[in-house]
Amino acid sequence: MVNLSLKQRIPPLENGDRLTRYEFERRYQAMPHHQKAELIEGVVYLASPLRFESHAEPHGHTITWLGVYEASTPGVRLGIEPTVRLDRDNEPQPDGVLLITPAANGQSRLSDNDYIEGAPELVIEIAASSVAIDLHDKKKVYGRNGVKEYIVWQIFENKLDWFRLQQGEYISLEVDADGIIKSQVFPGLWLSMFDLLAGNMQQVLAVLQLGLNSPEHQIFVQQLSS
């Protein structure tokens, strides 16, 4: 005799499972303890426990930087580790996203059950090293789905890459003569990269404030409001 409770039980998510997005969400929601899980090119990835200096602290620094920008830019929203429905085979949970709201003509939307659908304008990932999925499969997925800017901080190499989508390909944004990288999608979002890598958040926020005081940021805020 068939045990119906076993027959109807939803299988748990396992690393390496190949699933559709629908089945991924069904199994994810049934998990008793919701750990971070992502679907990349139809493959399930479960996150390992996170260390402080090699993930949590740099993650906090980048979110602090983006949070100050959000607070000064009405029409822009910041999210930490949101589920993003990109396409049938891809549902990542990036470390951070910065998006323009639908009312301000942003390219993503919130579903009825509060998930992001479509590509946020900017995605940030904290990667252990250059061999991580963030610089390979995820990068391809984000570019194919129209994420306009993509930041990857490689902790072990102490390196940060800021990519800008141009004609379907990511190119690297370069630091200027003052050591600053400036977003092309979010005017006024300026980053003193070497200070961020060194953990000098006071200078990171001082440089950001220069960007927030710039004429291009003031114009951007007016555009968002109109």
**What is the total count of domains within the chain?**
1
Range list of H helices, the chain: 4-7, 21-30, 57-71, 137-145, 193-198, 201-212, 215-225
CATH code, domain with 82: 3.90.1570.10
Residue 170 lies inside a defined structural domain of this protein = yes
Domain of residue 114 covers 50-225
pLDDT in tens, 191-218: 999 999 999 999 999 999 999 999 999 9
Residue 26 lies inside a defined structural domain of this protein = no
Residue 90 lies inside a defined structural domain of this protein = yes
In terms of average pLDDT, the best of 14-18, 49-53, 94-98 is 94-98
Residue 9 lies inside a defined structural domain of this protein = no
Please give the structure tokens belonging to residue 189.
Answer: 């979002």
Helices (H) and strands (E) in the chain, counts: 7, 13
Query: At residue 94, what is the residue type?
Result: P
What's the rounded mean pLDDT across residues 138-154?
Answer: 96
What is this structure's pTM?
0.86
pLDDT in tens, 58-90: 999 999 999 999 999 999 999 999 999 999 999
